[in-house]
Amino acid sequence: MNLTNWAEKLPSRKGLLGINGRNLELIYTHNNRGFFPNVDDKLLCKRLLDEAGLPTPRTYHVVDGPGSLVQWPEKLAEAPNFVVKPNRGFGGQGIILVKRVDGAFVSSGEPVSDDDITFHLLQICNGAFSLDNLADTAYFEVTVVNHAGLSSLIADGISGVADVRLIYQKDRPVMAMLRLPTRESGGKANLHQGGLGLGIDLETGLTLNGCQRNRVIEVHPETNLPLRGVPVPFFDEMLDYGARVSAVVGLGYIGVDFVCDQTLGPLILEVNARPGLNIQIANQTGLRTRIR
C-alpha cells in the first residue's frame, strides 16, 4: 500500500500535515529561532539536558581542535566500542559505530585504522556533515546496547541501535514511533535509508503497524514476524522525561529521540526542532488531527 492509497482511506485528509503545513502551523508558530541552537548544537543540548537531570549517553571525548584531535586514541583506550558523531550533523550523516575486535577497530564489518578514524574526524571538523557546511566539532559517545525487549523486532546479525521518536507540543505527547535498523538500512534506524518505523500507542506503549520507504507494512520484511503488539521498554519513563524537554530547550514543538539501553535504561539521544513527517505513516494518523 503506498502513501497515496493510505491517505485516501482516511476519514479526512485534512488531518495530514505536509512540510509547509508543519512549518507554518507548528515550527514557526511554536519555535523561536533564537532557541534553535539549543538543539542543533548536540553537545550544548546534552549539557542542558544533563543539568536538568535528564539522562543522555555518556560523551567520552570531544574533538574541537588539533590538540584534542591527537588525544583521541588515548582518551578512547579503555572504550571497547564507541560512536563518532558530528556535533551539528543531520539525518544520521557522518555517524559511525566502531567496535574493537581482537585489539583492532571494525566499523560496518570492515577494518578501520587509527588514521581512518582521524581522517573521518577531520571531515567532520571541516563541516562535511554539518547543517550549514561550516566548521564543526566531533565527539565520541558510548555505544548503546538494545534492550532485549526489542529483539523480536530486529533481525539477527543487525548491530544497529533502535530509537523512539516522541513528538511533543510543549509538555504534551502528540505521537510516537519506534525506528528500527535493518539490513537494507545498513544497520541504521534511518527511515530514508530503509529502516522501519512503527507507530506506538501512547496509552499502552504497544507497537502498531509500521512503514518502510513510505509503504504501510504489518510484518517485518526481514523476519516475517508481526510488528504489532510489542511493548516498548521504558515507554512510561520516556513519556515523563520527554514532557520536561520543551521547557529545557525553549522550544514548543519538538521531536525527542530516545534509546532503550539494556543496562542504562532510557536515554535521550537528541532533540529535533524540525521533526519529520513519516511518523504519520507509521501511525496511520495525521499530525493535525492529533494536535487539535
**Same-domain pairing of 113 and 175:** no
Last residue of a domain, one of 108, 141, 174: 141
* Residues 6 or more apart in contact with residue 232 via CB below 8 angstroms: 149, 150, 164, 178, 200, 205, 206, 207, 238, 260
Residues 69 and 189 in one domain: no
For the chain, the domain total comes to: 2
pLDDT of 183-223, one tens digit each?
A: 998 888 989 889 999 999 999 999 999 999 989 999 999 99
Instruction: Tell me how far apart the alpha carbons of residues 38 and 3 are, in angstroms, rounded to a whole number.
Output: 33
Decide: helix, strand or coil at residue 49: helix
Among the ranges given (130-139, 175-184, 223-232, 246-255), the one the predictor scored with the smallest mean pLDDT = 130-139
CA distances for 25 relative to 81, 106, 276, 291, angstroms: 42, 45, 14, 10
Q: Is the per-residue pLDDT at 90 higher than 90?
A: no
Residues 277 and 157 in one domain: yes
Model-level pTM?
Answer: 0.91
Closest to 97 (Cα-Cα) out of 86, 107, 89: 107
Query: Which residue range is the domain that position 177 belongs to?
Result: 3-55+145-291
Cell matching residue 158: 543487525
Q: Sheet with 110-112: list strands edge to edge.
A: 59-63, 138-141, 81-86, 96-101, 104-107, 110-112
- Does the CA dihedral 270-214-25-208 come out positive or negative? negative
Do 34 and 67 sit in the same domain of this protein? Answer: no
Do 93 and 171 lie in one domain? The reply is: no
Percentage of residues in the chain having pLDDT higher than 90: 81
Claim to verify: residue 189 and residue 284 sit in the same structural domain: yes
Q: Which of 95, 121, 141 is the last residue of a domain?
A: 141
State which of 107, 141, 175 marks the end of a domain: 141
- 45/91 same-domain check: no
Same domain, 115 and 177: no
Q: Does the structure show a pLDDT above 70 at 13?
A: no
pLDDT at 8: 53
Domain co-membership, 179 together with 136: no
- Which CATH number does the domain housing residue 43 bear? 3.30.470.20
160-172 pLDDT, tens digit each:
899 999 999 999 9
